[in-house]
Amino acid sequence: MVNNAGVMAVDYQLSPEGFESHLATNHLGPFLFTNLIIKKILASKSPRIVVVSSDGHRLNPFRFDDYNFDVSDAWDFAFVRHPYLNIDQAGKSYHKWFAYGQSKTANILFAISLAEKLGLKHGLLAFSLHPGVIWTNLGNHLDWSGAPTRRWATGRAGKNSMPSRWSEVSATHIYAAFDPALKANNGAYLIDSHVADPLSDTVKPWVTSSFEAERLWRLSEKLVGEEFSY
């Protein structure tokens, strides 16, 4: 199973359930759907789940105390003069790239939890990945001429951040979904068809913690209104 669908840097809006749209679309939806069909996945002879994240995870850790961007006074004081900060009419401070980054952080933590909860007991392999960067309809609504988006997309996302062929983008998906050697690295974050190295690849410390992964799992259960104890 590959959780690939998502949104990127969209304007502020809430889902029908009241969650910020990146969080709802990129994390809570896949979290709930995956867990609802997990028995079918585990029935496979070689169950494997791939969660498509992004190097964009480095833009923001998961905001456990402010995941919906209902900004506290302290946060507002620190960032109110940020040139790319938007404040909507409801009084929430919102940065579309911070929101995207939070959701991509959640993707990596989700894969860690799946591997730890279902790896040894059920043989499930779970991985997250940075697919690379290529122009698609996902970013049609964006103005790529401005910072910080241009800096992120044209060199700060890794040496191979701007592939020119679809084959380069699909390579890490295929590696994550099928390579048998990855069994030794269950739960890993992948980039450019290899297990990401924190020393040479762009991997933030907030996506390497099992504690943070479990913390997100419990919060996600609370937000979707269901518990999944494995």
Per the residue annotation, which of 12, 94, 100, 175 is the catalytic one? 100
Q: Nearest to residue 192, comparing CAs of 205, 201, 179, 184?
A: 201
Q: Hey, is 225 helix, strand or coil? A: coil
Active site residue 84: no
CA dist 102 → 46, 108, 167, 169, 189 (Å)? 30, 10, 27, 22, 16
Instruction: Give how far the C-alpha of residue 127 lies from the chain's centroid of Cα atoms, to the nearest Å.
Output: 11
Q: Which residues pair with 128 in a beta bridge?
A: 51, 189
What distance separates the 2 farthest-apart alpha carbons in the chain? Answer: 54
Active-site amino acid positions:
100
